[in-house]
Amino acid sequence: MQAEPENCPGVGTDNAGKASACAGCPNQRLCSDPNMKMEDPGKALVVQSMLGVKQKLLVLSGKGGVGKSTVTTLLSRYLARLYPDRNFGVLDVDICGPSQPRLLGVEGENVHQSGSGWSPVGVDDNLCLMSIGFLLGSPDDAIIWRGPKKNGMIRQFLSEVDWGQLDLLLLDTPPGTSDEHLSVVSYLRSDDSVPNTLSALIITTPQEVSLLDVRKEINFCKKQNIRILGVVENMSAFRCGHCGETSEIFPAKTGGAAAMCAEMEVPYLGALPLDPDVTKACDSGEDITNMKNSTTDALAGICQKIVAGLGA
């Protein structure tokens, strides 16, 4: 098959060979003929590239602004420090709003390309990162792409990055249950003959407006047969930097994440307080594992549960 057009709807989709972008494509007849449908050739490349990655963890939430990127950063930093003999990677799948380069303190670094593909940026001796943020001319550049082009970028990150041998790859995703999520799941989900190494960690805040969207994300995972490791309630309380007292910024009117998890039969992993010191550290790309406070204490317990859930 020849190269797909820029706005290709994707091989094997219902619109394959029928969309306006398919006009003039040399593969149009192959895609539109139900007897000649074939799997996206990019999936085989992803499978080959991911052979050295033992576990993949999607960090999800149907709601924006609940702290998925921050929790991904905290988890990757803590796990890398807790297990210095193991290797971890972070893939920033938020194409339109990449924030991991700043949060992990490697903003402005360059991605190098070799014969084996793009080399992810080293954050620590056993932690690396890949993000579209490294490929932009300026941090203020806007990504104005339709779904197919996002899909192509995600496929490149999964198949053309030299991840090497990783014990765990954390994927920081944007809000919702659409293009980026479907692309990642279609490329990483194993068939029935291979043990499933794809899991999901779901982030929420206590208020009902967040829990409503997170319920949709849980149902998305169930419909896609993605194992849910559990739910983390972020910003559960605020610790004042002056008096040390805590207060509820986002009050839980219906019992918060714990009640929702019991209702939907998914594990509840714990709560992370909103801590100004941790927020400052993330904004400046500092390693939060050097801190000792209520947030890092809670993070330690959550990480232990995640490791147990992964069976590693």
Higher pLDDT, 1 or 136: 136
- Scanning the chain, the segments in alpha helix (DSSP H) are 28-32, 41-49, 68-82, 100-103, 147-159, 179-188, 208-223, 256-264, 276-283, 294-310
pLDDT in tens, 148-194: 889 899 999 999 999 999 999 999 999 988 888 988 998 998 654 45
Q: What is the mean pLDDT of residues 24-40?
A: 63
Question: Any idea which of 4-13, 100-109, 237-246 has the lowest mean pLDDT?
Answer: 4-13
Residue 161: both structure tokens together: 């990055």
Q: pTM for the whole thing?
A: 0.85
- Residues 159, 49: contact at Cβ < 8 Å? yes
Walk me through the domains of the chain, giving residue ranges and CATH numbers.
40-310 (3.40.50.300)
pLDDT in tens, 41-66: 788 889 899 999 999 999 999 888 89
Residue 218's pLDDT is what? Answer: 96
- Residue 294: pLDDT over 90: no
Q: Percent of the chain beyond pLDDT 70?
A: 87
- Residues 140, 102: contact at Cβ < 8 Å? no
DSSP 63-94: STTS-HHHHHHHHHHHHHHH-TTS-EEEEE--
Per the prediction, the chain carries an average pLDDT of: 87
